């Protein structure tokens, strides 16, 4: 793709607003990268209908999108602007925005409310709610990457998600944090498997070793499958059913964790 001339920027792919809240980031580079990625989406027939504002700010994660009925706000970390992954991040975030505008079930608040009600979060430990929300966010990430990888390719995916496994396959400060880490590891493995991309050597074994060490080795493959096999459709029932299965798998751990047999 490198030999293709840069497309002229069409106004509807532009940003409504862009700001560098750090005072030292390369805002022009971020805007150019946005335009290049948005143009590639447009070539593939995906155009955002709502205005986007971009803000560069200090944050631990690479970036995040907030979508409302009025538009999208894209938060980009200053370290992400300096990284070589900025185009990948923007492609991923535009994927979220497009899915939110299309009303894809993975990105719909009413679907999330039903799923949360179905696993009866209100009666479970608060920290477990965080794990459930993390899992739902990763479902959204898988669908966003379905769009993003069409646009930017998958040549960096193995390395990126192997690093993800390296940093997540570790016991957290609490049982819930550890379960959250396991969900992250499963997402990384499942997201790669969905695209037929192997992780780097040793990563699958490392992930399984971590799961075994924390007593969750039965759960890991189920979660990996859950992320890998999310139905490629915008049909509500199918997507909701697949998400419900993932969350139900998590509740089996919660039930075990709260029982007396947990501490023999
Ligand atoms: Zn995401």
Same domain, 182 and 230: yes
Domain annotation covers residue 164: yes
Structure tokens at 196: 């037929």
Q: What is the pLDDT along the chain (264 residues), one digit of tens a residue?
A: 444 434 334 445 678 999 999 999 999 999 999 999 999 999 999 999 999 999 999 999 999 999 998 999 999 999 999 998 999 999 999 999 999 999 999 999 999 999 999 998 888 889 999 999 999 999 999 999 999 999 999 999 999 999 999 999 999 999 999 999 999 999 999 999 999 999 999 999 999 999 999 999 999 999 999 999 999 999 999 999 999 999 999 998 876 664 333 433
Q: Residue 228 in contact with residue 193, Cβ under 8 Å?
A: yes
Same domain, 80 and 142: no
Same domain, 164 and 192: yes
- Using the mean position of ligand 1's atoms as its centre, give its distance from the Cα of residue 256 in Å: 30
Last residue in a domain, options 90, 120, 144: 90
Backbone torsion region of residue 9, taken as left when φ is above 0, otherwise alpha when ψ lies between -120 and 50, otherwise beta = beta
Same domain, 132 and 246: yes
Last residue in a domain, options 90, 114, 147: 90
Last residue in a domain, options 90, 117, 148: 90
Same domain, 151 and 217: yes
Backbone angles phi, psi at 232, to 5 degrees: -85, 75
CB atoms within 10 A of CB 108: 17
Same domain, 45 and 159: no
- Using the mean position of ligand 1's atoms as its centre, give its distance from the Cα of residue 216 in Å: 25
Q: What was the pLDDT predicted at 246?
A: 97
Same domain, 171 and 199: yes
Same domain, 233 and 124: yes
Domain annotation covers residue 175: yes
Domain annotation covers residue 195: yes
Distance CA 83, CA 231 (A): 32
- Count of domains forming the chain: 2
User: Token match 């593939």: residue?
Assistant: 44
Give bridge partners of residue 71 from the DSSP assignment.
Answer: 68
Enclosing domain of residue 19: 11-90
Structure tokens at 262: 């947990």
Domain annotation covers residue 192: yes
- Using the mean position of ligand 1's atoms as its centre, give its distance from the Cα of residue 144 in Å: 7
- Using the mean position of ligand 1's atoms as its centre, give its distance from the Cα of residue 42 in Å: 20
- Using the mean position of ligand 1's atoms as its centre, give its distance from the Cα of residue 96 in Å: 7
Same domain, 226 and 127: yes
Model pTM score: 0.91
- Using the mean position of ligand 1's atoms as its centre, give its distance from the Cα of residue 106 in Å: 12
Same domain, 20 and 148: no
Distance CA 8, CA 10 (A): 6
In sequence order, what DSSP letters do the residues of 192-238 get, joined into one string? HHHTTPPPSTTHHHHHHHHHHHTT-TTHHHHHHHHHHT--SS--HHH
- Using the mean position of ligand 1's atoms as its centre, give its distance from the Cα of residue 26 in Å: 22
CA angle 234–239–240, rounded 5-degree value: 130
Same domain, 162 and 214: yes
Same domain, 74 and 133: no
């Amino acid at each position: 793709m490198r030999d293709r001339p840069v497309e002229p920027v069409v106004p509807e792919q532009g940003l409504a607003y862009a700001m560098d809240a750090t005072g030292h980031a390369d805002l022009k580079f971020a805007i150019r990268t946005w335009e290049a990625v948005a143009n590639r989406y447009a070539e593939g027939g995906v155009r955002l209908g709502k205005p986007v504002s971009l803000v560069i700010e200090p944050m631990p994660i690479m970036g995040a999108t907030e979508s409302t009925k009025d538009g999208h706000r894209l938060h980009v970390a200053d370290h992400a602007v300096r990284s070589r992954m900025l185009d990948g991040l923007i492609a991923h975030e535009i994927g979220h925005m497009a899915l939110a505008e299309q009303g894809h079930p993975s990105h719909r608040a009413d679907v999330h409310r039903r799923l949360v009600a179905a696993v009866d979060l209100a009666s479970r430990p608060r920290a477990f709610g965080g794990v459930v929300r993390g899992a739902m966010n990763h479902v959204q990430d898988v669908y966003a990457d379905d769009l993003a990888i069409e646009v930017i390719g998958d040549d960096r995916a193995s390395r990126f998600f192997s690093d993800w496994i390296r940093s997540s396959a570790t016991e957290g400060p609490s049982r819930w944090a550890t379960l959250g880490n396991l969900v992250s590891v499963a997402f990384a493995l499942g997201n790669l498997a969905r695209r037929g991309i192997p992780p780097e050597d040793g990563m699958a074994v490392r992930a399984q070793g971590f799961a075994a060490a924390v007593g969750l080795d039965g759960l890991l493959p189920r979660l990996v499958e859950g992320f890998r096999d999310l139905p490629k459709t915008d049909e509500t029932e199918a997507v909701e059913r697949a998400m419900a299965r993932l969350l139900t798998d998590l509740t089996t751990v919660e039930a075990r964790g709260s029982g007396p047999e947990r501490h023999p």
